Amino acid sequence: MENLITVIHVLAAAGVIGLVLLQHGKGADMGAAFGSGASGSLFGVSGSSNILSKLTSICVVVFFCTSLTLAYMASHRAGSSSVIKMPAKAVEINRDSTKSDATKTPETAPSGNAAKDVPN
């Protein structure tokens, strides 16, 4: 199920990127007034903005829904409390390193007679 939602999520992201790149900005109409004849070539003068904006809106809604669904599924996955997967040995090492200082074995401190240990 998670793989299917991930595939839909990637396709929706690619659709949003492609549709945004296909649309022309509001300043493109000014260029058409000065002789650029490509403003109404594919869908007509106003048809492209309506169709592309509706398709973009649909892709954005699908993208957000799949994003929220994948985040919910990742946070409620059974047996894990983190998104990052770590090997079992690394988890044990991390648990050992988080012990308080009182439970750790004290390290040997240098002796107070350091001046006597240095040869002349």
**Average pLDDT, stretch 98-120?**
57
Q: What is the mean pLDDT of the chain?
A: 73
Q: Residues of the chain with pLDDT > 90: what percent?
A: 32
User: Reduced to 3 states, what is the DSSP secondary structure of residue 8?
Assistant: helix
pTM to 2 decimals?
Answer: 0.51
| Domain count for the chain | 1
Report CA-CA distances (Å) from 94 to 36, 88, 97. 64, 10, 5
Range of the domain at 20: 2-27+42-94
Residue 20 lies in a domain: yes
Find the angle CA(60)-CA(15)-CA(22) to the nearest 5 degrees. 105
Task: Provide Rg for the chain, Cα atoms.
Answer: 31
pLDDT at position 102 over 80: no
Residue 59 lies in a domain: yes
**Average pLDDT, stretch 54-82?**
87
Sign of CA dihedral 64, 68, 71, 77: negative
Which residues neighbour 94 within 8 Å (Cβ) at sequence distance 6 or greater?
86
Residue 13 lies in a domain: yes
Residue 49 lies in a domain: yes
Residue 112 lies in a domain: no
pLDDT at position 110 over 90: no
Q: Tens of pLDDT along 5-62?
A: 999 999 999 999 999 998 877 665 555 556 555 555 555 555 556 888 899 999 999 9
pLDDT at 75 (0 to 100): 85
- Cα 48 versus chain centre, distance: 31
Closest alpha carbon to 63 in 112, 21, 17, 111: 17
